[in-house]
Structure 1
Amino acid sequence: MMPTTADKRTIFRKMHEAGCFVLPNPFDVGSAKALQHLGFKAVASTSAGFAWTIGKADNRVTLEEVLAHLAAISEAVDIPVNADFEGGFAHEAAKVGVNVARAVRSGVAGLSIEDSTGDKAKPLYDRGLAVERIKAARAAIDADNSGVMLTGRCEAFLWGQTDLNLVIDRLKAYSDAGADCLYAPGIKTKDDIAAVVKAVHPKPVNLLIGASGLSLKDAEALGVRRISVGGSLARSAWAGFMKAAKEMAEKGTFAELGQGYPGGELNKMFS
């Protein structure tokens, strides 16, 4: 029997109670279904990966586009979906809350709110406002007892602000404001990861891993609960596409097309 949205949310919460799991990031319905087929127990959207599928740069998609995307993926798979909800598509805390309420209705089991402004001159929201934004998201999630997990993200490292004390201070504040899971994309060293895990314990920590880094076993040993890969799967798919397309455009040859995944296998997977 197909799990209900409530079932998915309950399952997703239980996944964070012990151990460490990979939360891969599909970029469309097909890639989400493929990851389910491979045995992953949950997936997470990627703002960048989705944006590229509709011919836009990261952080340039609209709220309506993202809500439709989240609903489509949540409906297509039987496993929990965590939403990369960027900055909530608003600056003011109250508007973040309104938008989070709409995201909850898309059927997701979790969502994240980040503290980056998109402004290089002032990349992070003031701490007080960042905390209010998390509180607003929490209130919106709890308004109908949805059970959606809220992840609070500190984006400092991605913007070149590599002060771990600042990151930990913010993550602890987001935890106090109601975040169920904490996430600081960009941290990489074992010492930094262990420090973040210790600081927000017993709340779970999400770790971003790209082309290299710790293994699942390494991350688990440090106390990490889940690993996501951001836009890496999408970039891998684009790498194959662009390599074959460039060969056709520049050389008029077609050798790279022979490297494609077998169509018969794809049809079998999606049948």
Structure 2
Amino acid sequence: MTEDTGRTSRRDTAHAALLRSSHHDRPHGEPLVLPGPWDAASARVFADAGFTALATPSAGVAASLGYEDGSTPPDEMFAAIRRIARAVDVPVTADVEAGYGLPAAELVERLLEAGACGCNLEDSDPRDRRLKEPQEQADRLAAVRAAAGDALVVNARVDSYLRGGADRTTAAVAARAELYVAAGADCVYPIGCPPEVLPDLAERVGAPLNALCRPGGLAPRELGVLGAARVTFGGGMQAQALDAVRLMAEGFLPPR
């Protein structure tokens, strides 16, 4: 191990511990708010604004690289994560979709090499968008946890509300989430969860919940009051930034 690699490893471990602790013992209505940088410049803006950690969104990174969400080549995704993590001194957790088919040990190694101290892992198949069997995903999460030890904060995404059909019941979502927590997930992300379901789900799962903050939807504090311990934005921030760029561009065009 080189001296530089050793320093990076120590930083990642410290960042993972800081990020993990930030999910717990939060004041009511004050969730951990993680903006979604899509490149190094946006990461610096969020860090300079005072955010204590960042969460890369696969959709935002994909758009910045010219891809549709879900079609970014893994090498390009990890390179983007590396640039973002290198640009800031705060913890960075990365959305790596379903893990790109990589074995758990290789996935963990690539995340740590990129400077990430956490990751999102989805439980739907990227090929046909169907939910994986809960135990299959739990085994995958357990393998990631075993390979990572304490060096990664694992946010297990539950895609039941996106792809689940009959699995959208609160009981089914909670059962899936509990299985993932037992497998080693630090946090559970029931993406698309109706806000009114959050209190019941948070009580059933008993682990930190990640809620998605959508433009025009409930604010992070409102989601926190309902039970979210962590709030992320998906690709929403990158999309809003593009809207601002579009308006700026149109302002420079001659009148039609």
TM range (shorter): 0.7 to 0.9
Alpha-carbon deviations, 1:127-161, whole Å to 9, x = none?
2211111111111212xx52x11111111212363
The alpha carbon displacement at 1:108 in A equals: 1.2
CA root-mean-square deviation? 2.3
Match of 2:242 among 233, 238, 241: 238
Q: How does 1:154-165 map to 2 (within 5 A)?
A: 154-159=158-163, 161=165, 162-165=168-171
Q: With structure 1 as the length reference, what TM-score do the two structures score?
A: 0.82
3-state SS of 1:4 partner: helix
Q: Cα 1:61–1:200, aligned 2, differ >3 Å: closer, same or farther? A: same
Corresponding position of 1:17:
24
Say whether residues 1:131 and 2:138 are aligned partners. yes
The alpha carbon displacement at 1:247 in A equals: 6.5
Structure 2 unaligned spans of 5+: 1-7
Corresponding position of 2:222:
218
Corresponding position of 2:233:
229
Corresponding position of 1:259:
none
- Give, in whole Å, the separation in 2 of the partners of 1:186 and 1:254: 41
Q: Do the aligned partners of 1:171 and 1:200 also contact (CA within 8 Å) in 2?
A: yes
The alpha carbon displacement at 1:66 in A equals: 1.5
Match of 1:197 among 179, 194, 202: 202
Q: With structure 2 as the length reference, what TM-score do the two structures score?
A: 0.86
- Give, in whole Å, the separation in 2 of the partners of 1:131 and 1:209: 26
- Give, in whole Å, the separation in 2 of the partners of 1:215 and 1:245: 29
- Give, in whole Å, the separation in 2 of the partners of 1:80 and 1:219: 22
Q: Do the aligned partners of 1:5 and 1:108 also contact (CA within 8 Å) in 2?
A: yes
The alpha carbon displacement at 1:243 in A equals: 3.7
Corresponding position of 1:104:
112
Q: Do the aligned partners of 1:42 and 1:80 also contact (CA within 8 Å) in 2?
A: yes
The alpha carbon displacement at 1:16 in A equals: 1.2
- Give, in whole Å, the separation in 2 of the partners of 1:230 and 1:114: 13
- Give, in whole Å, the separation in 2 of the partners of 1:230 and 1:212: 14
Q: Do the aligned partners of 1:97 and 1:133 also contact (CA within 8 Å) in 2?
A: no
Alpha-carbon deviations, 1:188-224, whole Å to 9, x = none?
222x1112211221x2111111113333332222332
- Give, in whole Å, the separation in 1 of the partners of 2:216 and 2:170: 21
Structure 1 unaligned spans of 5+: 256-271
Corresponding position of 2:4:
none
- Give, in whole Å, the separation in 1 of the partners of 2:11 and 2:126: 36
Which of these two proteins has the greater Rg computed from alpha carbons?
1
- Give, in whole Å, the separation in 2 of the partners of 1:207 and 1:132: 24
